[in-house]
């Protein structure tokens, strides 16, 4: 057994078939395979859980017997301390938890302001002197501490909202949402337990009769005096007989009763009765800042505490960096400010720079949460750890994948083993080692079909992953939009989406795309709300156009199938969710064995006492409470995980007991159940199999399903309810968690829905799916405040030609190079010769063609990226095999220093018709040379000049000082060359032969100086 690897032998957890496999230590390892092939069973359920048990046992002060758990193996050796960064496991559901509290940045900012801000006068909120004395008011200010910037401490919190930032009260809009309803209808429709209780209603009716108020009058027709009486009551006492009891009552008004009853409610259940009528508004005292006025006025480097809380992390980084550079940050907190910048930059590096510190963790997607935890560990500098990640690229745009890879490599380069379960092709290509499970899902998977490096994977005939990567991808018959009807929603405003319009065809597939944080979910939520409102208004006769929507009259329903776990309890299983558990229990209860024993359908339910195992209450798992850690679960020793008592398990139907049936996969159950005797069961299982879920067990808990599995199961449940048409189906990233080979199931599902008269709108990152959609709405151009705008609404072909769309460049690459494999560079890893890009004709042009090296500065004084560029004397190919190029720049060049700081750049080879572009880089400030030029992000996110004859994406490798110049050595990532035209490169022929030496390097003279 090598000490350099983690070895697992004889693993039989779930569907694994006595698997033997090794993971090399200190490497980036990817576990690949189709959905349901056994990746999670091997990496998370076996390796991670066993390793966790070992180290928890070592930490415990007493012997810890965890049993065998839910995993089975013969031997595991060489394991390391484990850390799992999962998308969401229920441990981050606290509604008060924010990005700032989770990352610890809130605490750092409190320390920063506590020690680095000058207190203001508590009376006039004006500035104070060095002695904290206000000359205008003649009073002293209290010295600051971190407590003064905590909304949970009396020293800092706003007294009006108690540090919450919002005021909770009863909202008239929620109590009476439709003011056209009569007073009688309002009382009839009131929530139980609120103002509809008999004594309140009787008192109201008595008051109405007393003042001559017609109960059939719509609320909107009430006079101001009548409205006051209805809402706040009167002082008149009425003697009323209610349920044989006579008492004196005063009608205190709808709002008066609700406020008193809510204030005096003695239980949470009683308070919950009023939930639907409660509204929230920003606290007027602190304007949502949660702090007292003195704390809100304090500044560091010219910015307040709420500024850093409410702004995007990328902007906060720029603010603090500028303050450090200019000296505006006080000396005593400069080191602390630098630590904040470093930790925030880690979050920005994983593609989350658009997040705000005050954003609740519960609003983050699973992928965002996992990347946030990843950024935390990048800052910890742990070494010798085994990190396990479950699809860290989930919900991530292709343009951001490189940043995640850089973060994973940083974890690896610290001396850790990084094991990633992943479907994304870019991550698979970048892995040091690949382990693929399969070949199929469920009972057809559970085997190791490949172990090795990426170059070897492509030559593996047994690998479904390799087959999918070299194929053309999913396909479908496009819808003819010539005579299509359309829906248009206008004025969508949510989060960073402001006053945008979305138009999409009916009876077709529309993709909503854009970089992570661009506003896709906000736009789709606006579409869903508008369509839902229009459908609801139709019954009242209101015009849909009045709600800012046209074309919704062609829709009867809208269903939003989100990427969220289904089933809030571990008792929710596959069969209970799709509604066939009763049919299965009925089949067993009707059998001869059950009739003879007098057993009914209840005894065959794990949720009903009588037949279930009472030791584990039918869960099949026993809980072990741990003092210092969260509870762990092991297989129930009483029923051995079978959930039922022995006398129930003795009942058999066609030689199977209830546990055997619930342990079957969907596909096995389809063969076992008879279509005549169990038609509803067979129908439901057939739909699940059609959706690619045939590998799931009937009794599996729905809380254990991935987002993609849960979404497909959710849709299957909808389709089983009734045959739908004229319905708008909205999907939230349906390909997330799907292997490329499994997307065909999704496409077949879409076609089935469209063929029956339905419309589909999907939020999607998968370029291959976007490329075959009928219509694409692309948001951007960036994330957060730099996004939120519809930059494209049209066909995928039009998107590919849209220079303003980041998504468009990937669709264009897919169109122009459908089988291209472009690995992202790994400066620390070994490069396979076969993976080196072919420089081809560009290599022949390099020494003489005019080239502009362009990149984007990491820090920017402007909103958005700042491009930099310079014309270089010449380029040469240093190594074809290793894809290395080299060039000279002048030492101290402002433009080059800005570009080199990011380590990435794009070499643009100009055409003969672009001489003015070359001239533009010979004058002006470095950051103004692009002002008059059109540029778009290249494959690695660097400026690509529109119309360039060729481009070379590069990664900086090293540089060497040669006199007053630097020799730069770079690795070529990808190459693009315009073909099929008569355009020629712009050559430096005007310099004459003497301008170039024997090696093609231009001799540096005044006019050749690198700028």
Using CA of residue 232, residue 237, residue 238, residue 241, what is the dihedral sign?
positive
pLDDT band at 632 (very low <50, low <70, confident <90, very high): low
Instruction: Write down the pLDDT at residue 923.
Output: 61
Provide the phi-psi class of 290: left if phi over 0, else alpha when psi is between -120 and 50, else beta.
left
pTM for the predicted model, two decimal places: 0.69
Tokens of 200: 């309140």
Burial of 880 (0-12, 13-18, 19+ CB in 10 A): middle
Place of tokens 């070949």: 439
Q: Name the residue among 690, 691, 692, 694 with its Cα closest to residue 666.
A: 694
> Chain centroid to CA 647: how far?
47
* Residue 358: how many other CB atoms lie within 10 Å: 19
Rounded percentage of the chain residues whose pLDDT exceeds 70 = 86
Lowest mean pLDDT, pick from 66-75, 345-354, 404-413, 430-439 = 66-75
Place of tokens 């020799």: 967
Tokens of 953: 């994406």
What is the C-alpha to C-alpha distance for residues 108 and 104, in angstroms, rounded to an integer? 7
Backbone torsions φ then ψ of 624, nearest 5 degrees: -110, 115
**Are the C-beta atoms of 483 and 749 separated by less than 8 Å?**
no
pLDDT one-digit tens code per residue, 889-901 = 887 787 888 888 7
Give the chain's mean pLDDT: 83
* Residue 981: how many other CB atoms lie within 10 Å: 8
Lowest mean pLDDT, pick from 422-436, 884-898, 918-932 = 918-932
What is the C-alpha to C-alpha distance for residues 603 and 585, in angstroms, rounded to an integer? 8
Tokens of 325: 């550079």
What is the C-alpha to C-alpha distance for residues 233 and 103, in angstroms, rounded to an integer? 50
What is the C-alpha to C-alpha distance for residues 332 and 115, in angstroms, rounded to an integer? 7
Instruction: Write down the pLDDT at residue 714.
Output: 78
Higher per-residue pLDDT: 629 or 267: 267
**Are the C-beta atoms of 392 and 365 separated by less than 8 Å?**
no
Instruction: Write down the pLDDT at residue 51.
Output: 92
pLDDT band at 736 (very low <50, low <70, confident <90, very high): confident
pLDDT band at 962 (very low <50, low <70, confident <90, very high): confident
**Are the C-beta atoms of 258 and 274 separated by less than 8 Å?**
yes
What is the C-alpha to C-alpha distance for residues 864 and 927, in angstroms, rounded to an integer? 12
What is the C-alpha to C-alpha distance for residues 398 and 769, in angstroms, rounded to an integer? 13
- In this predicted structure, the answer to whether residue 882 has a pLDDT above a threshold of 80 is no
Higher per-residue pLDDT: 707 or 585: 585
pLDDT one-digit tens code per residue, 285-315 = 999 899 999 999 999 999 999 999 999 999 9
Beta-bridge mates of residue 494: 497
- In this predicted structure, the answer to whether residue 143 has a pLDDT above a threshold of 50 is yes
Instruction: Write down the pLDDT at residue 525.
Output: 93
Instruction: Write down the pLDDT at residue 863.
Output: 47
Instruction: Write down the pLDDT at residue 929.
Output: 67
Averaged over 489-493, what is the pLDDT?
95
End-to-end C-alpha distance for the chain, whole angstroms: 57
pLDDT band at 875 (very low <50, low <70, confident <90, very high): confident
**Are the C-beta atoms of 531 and 549 separated by less than 8 Å?**
yes
**Are the C-beta atoms of 833 and 900 separated by less than 8 Å?**
no
Burial of 823 (0-12, 13-18, 19+ CB in 10 A): buried
Tokens of 1001: 């390097």
* Beta-sheet pairing, 884-890 with 965-977: antiparallel
Strand, coil or helix: what is 43? helix
Q: Which helix (H) or strand (E) holds 430?
A: helix 425-430
* Residue 243: how many other CB atoms lie within 10 Å: 6
- In this predicted structure, the answer to whether residue 432 has a pLDDT above a threshold of 90 is yes
Backbone torsions φ then ψ of 771, nearest 5 degrees: -65, -20
Averaged over 542-550, what is the pLDDT?
63
pLDDT one-digit tens code per residue, 14-45 = 889 999 999 999 999 999 998 888 998 999 98
3-class SS string, 870-893: EEECCEEEEECCCCEEEEEEECCC
pLDDT band at 822 (very low <50, low <70, confident <90, very high): very low
CB hemisphere CA count around 1006 (13 angstroms): 0
- In this predicted structure, the answer to whether residue 930 has a pLDDT above a threshold of 80 is no
pLDDT one-digit tens code per residue, 39-63 = 989 999 899 989 988 887 776 544 4
Instruction: Write down the pLDDT at residue 566.
Output: 66
Q: Name the residue among 636, 639, 651, 640 with its Cα closest to residue 585.
A: 651
Beta-bridge mates of residue 853: 870, 907
Instruction: Write down the pLDDT at residue 2.
Output: 60
pLDDT one-digit tens code per residue, 342-395 = 999 889 888 888 899 998 888 887 677 878 888 888 877 788 999 999 888 877
């Amino acid at each position: 057994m090598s000490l350099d690897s983690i070895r697992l032998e004889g693993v039989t957890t779930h569907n694994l078939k006595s698997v033997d496999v090794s993971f090399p230590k200190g490497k980036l390892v990817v576990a690949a395979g189709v959905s349901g092939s056994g990746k999670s069973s091997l990496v998370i359920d076996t390796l991670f859980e066993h390793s966790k048990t070992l180290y928890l046992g070592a930490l415990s002060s007493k012997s810890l017997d965890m049993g065998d758990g839910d995993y089975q193996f013969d031997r595991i050796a060489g394991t390391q301390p484990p850390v799992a960064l999962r998308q969401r496991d229920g441990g981050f559901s606290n509604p008060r938890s924010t990005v700032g509290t989770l990352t610890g940045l809130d605490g750092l900012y409190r320390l920063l302001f506590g020690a680095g801000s000058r207190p203001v006068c508590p009376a006039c909120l004006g500035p104070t002197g060095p002695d904290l004395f206000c000359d205008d008011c003649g009073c002293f200010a209290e010295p600051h501490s971190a407590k003064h910037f905590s909304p949970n401490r009396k020293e800092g919190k706003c007294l009006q909202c108690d540090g919450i930032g919002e005021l909770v009260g009863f909202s008239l809009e929620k109590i009476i949402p439709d003011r056209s309803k009569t007073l009688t209808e309002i009382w009839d429709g009131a929530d139980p337990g609120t103002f509809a209780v008999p004594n309140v209603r009787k008192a109201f009716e008595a008051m109405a009769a007393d003042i001559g108020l017609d109960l059939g009058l719509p609320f909107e027709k009430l006079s101001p005096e009548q409205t006051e009486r209805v809402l706040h009551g009167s002082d008149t006492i009425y003697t009323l007989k209610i349920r044989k009891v006579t008492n004196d009552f005063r009608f205190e008004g709808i709002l008066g009763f609700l406020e008193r009853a809510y204030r005096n409610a003695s239980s949470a259940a009683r308070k919950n009765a009023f939930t639907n009528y409660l509204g929230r508004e920003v606290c007027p005292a602190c304007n949502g800042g949660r702090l007292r006025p003195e704390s809100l006025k304090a500044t560091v480097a010219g910015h307040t505490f709420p500024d850093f809380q409410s702004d995007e992390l990328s902007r906060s980084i720029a603010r603090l960096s500028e303050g450090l550079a200019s000296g505006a940050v006080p000396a005593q907190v400069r080191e602390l400010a630098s630590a904040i910048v470093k930790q925030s930059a880690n979050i920005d590096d994983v593609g989350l720079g658009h997040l705000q510190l005050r954003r609740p963790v519960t609003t983050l997607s699973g992928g965002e949460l996992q990347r946030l935890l990843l950024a935390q560990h990048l800052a910890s500098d742990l070494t010798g750890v085994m990190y396990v990640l479950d699809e860290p690229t989930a919900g991530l745009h292709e343009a951001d994948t490189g940043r995640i890879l850089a973060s994973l490599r940083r974890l690896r380069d610290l001396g850790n083993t990084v094991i990633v379960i992943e479907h994304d092709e870019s991550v698979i290509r970048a892995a040091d080692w690949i382990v693929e499970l399969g070949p199929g899902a469920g009972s057809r998977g559970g085997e190791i079909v490949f172990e090795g490096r990426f170059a070897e994977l492509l030559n593996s005939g047994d690998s479904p992953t390799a087959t999918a990567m070299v194929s053309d991808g999913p396909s479908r018959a496009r819808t003819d939009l010539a005579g299509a009807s359309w829906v248009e929603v206008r004025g969508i405003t949510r989060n960073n989406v402001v006053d945008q319009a979305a138009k999409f065809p009916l009876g077709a597939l529309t993709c909503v795309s854009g970089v992570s944080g661009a506003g896709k979910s906000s736009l789709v939520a606006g579409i869903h709300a508008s369509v839902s409102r229009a459908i609801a208004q139709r019954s009242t006769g209101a015009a849909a156009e009045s709600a800012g929507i046209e074309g919704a009259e062609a829709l009867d329903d809208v269903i939003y199938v989100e990427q969220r776990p289904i089933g809030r309890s571990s008792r929710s299983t596959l069969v209970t969710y799709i509604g066939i558990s009763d049919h299965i229990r009925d089949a067993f209860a009707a059998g001869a064995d059950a009739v003879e024993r007098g057993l009914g359908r209840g005894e065959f339910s794990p949720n009903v006492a009588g037949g279930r195992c009472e030791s584990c209450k039918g869960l099949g798992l026993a809980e072990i409470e741990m003092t210092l850690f969260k509870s762990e679960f092991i297989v129930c020793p009483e029923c051995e995980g079978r959930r039922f008592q022995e006398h129930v398990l003795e009942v058999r139907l066609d030689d199977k007991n209830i546990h055997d049936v619930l342990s079957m996969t969907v596909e096995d159950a389809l063969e076992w159940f008879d279509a005549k005797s169990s038609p509803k069961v067979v129908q439901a299982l057939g739909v699940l199999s059609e959706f690619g879920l045939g590998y799931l067990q009937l009794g599996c808990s729905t809380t254990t399903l991935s987002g993609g599995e849960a979404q497909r199961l959710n849709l299957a449940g909808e389709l089983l309810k009734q045959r739908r048409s004229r319905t708008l189906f909205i999907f939230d990233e349906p390909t997330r968690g799907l292997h490329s080979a499994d997307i065909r199931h999704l496409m077949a599902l879409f076609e089935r829905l469209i063929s029956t008269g339905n419309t589909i709108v999907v939020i999607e990152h998968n370029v291959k799916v976007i490329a075959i959609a009928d219509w694409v709405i692309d948001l951007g151009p960036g994330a957060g405040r730099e996004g939120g705008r519809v930059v494209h609404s049209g066909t995928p072909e039009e998107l590919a030609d849209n220079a303003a769309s980041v998504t468009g460049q990937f669709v264009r690459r897919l169109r122009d190079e459908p089988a291209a494999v472009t690995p992202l560079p790994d400066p620390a890893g070994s490069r396979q010769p076969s993976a080196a890009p072919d420089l081809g004709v560009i290599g022949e042009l390099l020494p003489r063609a005019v080239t502009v090296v362009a990149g984007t500065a990491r820090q920017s004084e402007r909103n958005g990226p700042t491009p930099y560029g310079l014309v270089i004397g010449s380029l040469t190919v240093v190594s074809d095999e290793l894809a290395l190029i080299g060039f000279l720049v002048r030492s101290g060049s402002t433009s080059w220093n800005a570009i080199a700081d990011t380590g990435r750049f794009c070499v643009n080879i100009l055409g003969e018709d672009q001489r003015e572009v070359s001239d533009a880089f010979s004058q002006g400030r470095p950051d103004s040379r692009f002002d008059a030029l059109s540029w778009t992000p290249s494959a690695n996110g660097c400026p690509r000049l529109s119309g360039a004859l060729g481009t070379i994406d590069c990664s900086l490798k090293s540089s060497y000082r040669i006199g007053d110049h630097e020799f730069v050595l770079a690795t070529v990532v990808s190459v693009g060359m315009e073909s099929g035209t008569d355009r020629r490169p712009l050559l430096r022929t005007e310099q004459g032969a003497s301008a170039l030496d024997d090696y093609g390097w231009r001799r540096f003279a005044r006019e050749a100086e690198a700028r």
